[in-house]
Amino acid sequence: MSPGQDSGLDGHLLRELREESGLTLRELSEKTGLSTSLISQLERGVTSPSLQSIRLLAEALEVSIFQLLAADNRGYSYVPADRRRKLVMQHGEISYELLSPDTKRRLEVWLGTLSPGVTSGDEPSVHPSEEFILVLSGQMEIEISGQRQTLGPGDAIQYDGSQPHMIWNHTDEPLRFISALTPPTL
């Protein structure tokens, strides 16, 4: 993601969570493997992070990815479709929209979109959650612990997120799916 592209990362919140955890920039850098310079730039909103950077920060701070995104503190859980918190990566080829706005709950639900020919990341994802996916449109190829499965519209799959998993869209149509995780870890 290039600087200036809105990743949705709330730099002030990142700094607040780091300080609440009692971590210095250097200590957070050591826990994540990210440079102190990058973390400082993220906290100041100077640069935009990759999904992997956000995952590493969330894991080190023991929060979900969406807890690092800009919050709308209206006091209730209704979010109009055009006001969802959104994580956009790979120049807009991947997006995740938070459908369950209350990040303090035990369930996180999001709408994922992968552009044609795109994969969910450079490496398989692993997180301590149970995950459920429902394909809305397009075709998904998912690999879980080395086993591949193809899903079409209306197909669903549920698995333990601690198993390495990765998603591909090998088609020329966008892939849209709903994913639910408990506890939240994206």
Q: Is residue 178 within 8 Å of residue 154, measured between CB atoms?
A: no
From the number of C-beta atoms within 10 Å of its C-beta (0-12, 13-18, 19+), residue 72 rates as: exposed
Q: Cα separation of 14 and 84, whole Å?
A: 19
CA 77 to chain CA mean position, Å: 19
Label residue 74 by pLDDT band (50, 70, 90).
very low
Q: Is pLDDT of 122 > 90?
A: no
Q: Which residues contact 40 (CB under 8 A, 6 or more apart)?
A: 25
64 against 75, higher pLDDT: 64
pLDDT score of 133: 98
Q: Cα separation of 32 and 38, whole Å?
A: 11
Label residue 70 by pLDDT band (50, 70, 90).
low
Q: Is pLDDT of 76 > 60?
A: no
Q: Is pLDDT of 72 > 70?
A: no
Q: Is pLDDT of 144 > 90?
A: yes
Q: Is pLDDT of 151 > 50?
A: yes
Label residue 141 by pLDDT band (50, 70, 90).
very high
Q: In what order do the strands lie in the sheet with 165-168?
A: 147-151, 140-144, 165-168
* Span 79-110, pLDDT tens digits: 667 777 788 887 778 888 888 876 666 788 99
- In the chain, the domains with their CATH numbers are 11-68 (1.10.260.40), 81-182 (2.60.120.10)
- For residues 135-164, give the mean pLDDT: 97
* Span 33-62, pLDDT tens digits: 999 999 999 998 888 888 788 889 988 998
pLDDT score of 77: 60
pTM for this one? 0.62
For residue 94, what are the β-bridge partners? 89, 114
The DSSP H or E segment spanning 135 is: strand 130-137
- Cα-based distances in Å from 127 to 5, 64, 105: 26, 10, 17
Percentage of residues of the chain with pLDDT beyond 90: 46
pLDDT score of 71: 53
Residue 31 in 3-state DSSP?
helix
